[in-house]
Amino acid sequence: MPIVGFALTLIVAYLLGSIPTGFLVAKARGIDIRAVGSGNIGATNVFRILGKTAGAFVLLADAAKGWVAVFVVAGFFAGWGYLDAGSHRLEWFQLGAGVAAILGHNYTCWLHFKGGKGIATSAGVLVGLMPWALLVVLGIWIVVFALTRYVSLASISAAFALPFAGWLLGASLPLIVVTAALAALAIYKHKANIKRLMNGTENRIGSRKAVQAESPKATV
């Protein structure tokens, strides 16, 4: 039963995470978000193309996917068939659900396994797993963004700091290892942004530089 429940947790959490919120919101307005701006389906590109309201909605919806995966999906299947899920079993189910939801967002099966960068969904996962560490990295994100106006640099900095924040706050070893892996994945997903940062061509929030300056990565 635990193996079946864990497998179902991974499947359901992946499908939940794979809902392409940014793509659907843009599509409702007749825009293929993959063909404009940075070509990413995440909240930042939606914010640039469709404005603050749409961007904020996508941000919250993508974060909610991670939170629901950890709190609802993992909690349900960890206790499936048992009166008490047990804290050890629950932690592993939550870790699995969190990873699956983020992978679903980053590699959604509905868009040929090309999705977002997982920052908002990761934040939702962290609300359930390490809320105090999330506050630390959120503070780092805010400071870096305020100083540079680069969303990508703020996200990369926060991801890099995540496993260290977990370690300093006494997180369990499995949690530190998993968050380190997720941080590495988040940084890897920003490889194009890193290249643009090094070349001085990355767009700042609030800049009047044309959004088209970013290389579109349209997918069909």
Q: Find the length of the chain.
A: 220
Contact present, 70 and 134 (Cβ < 8 Å): no
Tell me the average pLDDT across 151-169. Answer: 96
User: Residue 215 carries which DSSP code?
Assistant: P
Q: Which residue has the tokens 């063909």?
A: 35
Number of structural domains the chain divides into: 1
pLDDT by residue (tens digit) across 206-215? 765 544 444 4
DSSP at 200: T
Percent of the residues in the chain that have a pLDDT greater than 90, as a whole number: 80
Q: Closest Cα partner for 161 from 192, 188, 182?
A: 182
Q: How confident is the model at residue 84, as a pLDDT?
A: 54
Q: How far apart are CA 10 and CA 113, in angstroms?
A: 16
User: Does 99 fall in a domain?
Assistant: yes
pLDDT of res. 209: 54
Using one digit for the tens of pLDDT, what is the confidence trace for 25-67?
Answer: 999 999 999 999 889 999 999 999 999 999 999 999 999 999 9
First and final CA of the chain: distance in angstroms? 40
Would residue 218 count as lying in a domain? Answer: no
pTM for this entry: 0.87
Q: What are phi and psi of 99, to 5 degrees?
A: -60, -45
Asked whether residue 42 is domain-assigned, the answer is yes
* 219 inside domain: no
Residue whose structure tokens are 């990295």: 137
Residue 55 lies in a domain: yes
- Would residue 179 count as lying in a domain? yes
Enclosing domain of residue 56: 2-213
Collapse the DSSP code of 169 into the 3-class scheme (helix H, G, I; strand E, B; otherwise coil) and give the result: coil
pLDDT on residue 215: 43
Question: Which pair of structure tokens corresponds to residue 9?
Answer: 């947790």
Distance (Å, whole) CA 121 – CA 65: 6
Beta-carbon contacts of residue 70 (< 8 Å; ≥ 6 apart) = 94, 97, 98, 101, 124, 125, 127, 128, 129
Residue 219: per-residue pLDDT: 35
Helix ranges, the chain (H): 2-17, 21-28, 43-50, 52-68, 74-78, 87-106, 119-129, 131-148, 151-168, 173-189, 191-199
Q: Answer yes or no: is 220 within a domain.
A: no
**Running DSSP on this structure, what letter comes out for residue 192?**
H
